[in-house]
Amino acid sequence: MRSLATALLRQMDPENAHAWALLALRAGLAGRDATPDDPRLAVPLFGRTVKNPIGIAAGFDKNAVALKGLAGLGFGFLEAGTVTPRPQPGNPRPRLFRLDEDRAVINRMGFNNGGIAAYTQRLAAFTPRPVPVGANLGINKEGADPEHDYPAMLATVAPFADYVVINVSSPNTPGLRDLQGEARLAAIFAALPRERPPLFVKLAPDLSRPGLEAATDVAIGAGAAGIIVTNTTISRPPGLRSPHAKEAGGLSGAPLAPLAREALRVVARRAAGRLTLIAAGGIATGADVLERLRLGASAVQIYTAFAYAGPALIPRIKRELLAALDAARLRDVPSAIGTELQ
């Protein structure tokens, strides 16, 4: 039934399908994976042991409305958002496009969300939390003051989040990616309260090598817990076949994987074990997960592959990851982390 529902959603307008998927998750209609995770999948993360290294990326549940349903699907952790200080409608539709031929998505949603107040109420209501939940924070398109807005939002969500992400890398808010520059990012970190949950910053795959290294240095110097590598790309890799390939916005899915892998390699070498890294971008199989672990990530996030395959993807990836660990003669997930960097 879940496979049938996923196939039906694939026939709908992408944004309408996303809305229906959230409704199904809220109503408990998306099913539940009650199979206990193999202990070999457990990994230290966010100051605790997480049952598996597979999380849902920000963007899927912007308003934290479907956390209970998502937690039941077998994810090791969840990330809700991106949320902004004030509600905003985002960019005009259409703003979400499937690139079926490329197993990819382009979005220019523009941080559409209901604002921090309603979001925080939902985070607070999600208790007890069966898995860690992260809060992904952004800024409004108009009237933003990053050095004020990020600290204020962090203070608001801190009692109810297991970790917090400063999103300075979405391509769909004018000027946001400029905040990844060394001086501006350092100023934002300096304004943040020192008492906080584990703090991550999310970077773009389009940063140059020096830009990635500089942002990594800032995160280390500011006492951040880690970096999420990476957000979507504004580039269009050669070979895209979909008629939607020229739409404006951030590209995710399979074509993003080479850029995301290389960015992870750069950040991991620079961080040299001083940060926890979470990999995202083009991850769809257990082999993909193991590859990112070996490049220095402690965990991964998925979105586009989940949008294409539905809830059945999560148990499949975990089975494939266990098989990949066995094939590589690796004991467990922690023993795989960074083995390609040695």
By annotation, the residues acting in catalysis are: 170
Residue 317 CA to its chain's centroid (Å): 17
CB 298 within 8 A of CB 287: no
Give the residue among 72, 75, 69 at the shortest CA–CA distance from 55: 75
Residue 9 Rama label (left phi>0; alpha psi -120 to 50; beta): alpha
127 secondary structure, DSSP code: -
| Relative orientation angle of helices 209-221 and 257-271, to the nearest 10 degrees | 50
128 preceded by a cis bond (ω within 30 of 0): yes
57 secondary structure, DSSP code: P
User: In the numeric block, which tokens belong to residue 229?
Assistant: 């590598």
Radius of gyration of the chain (CA): 18
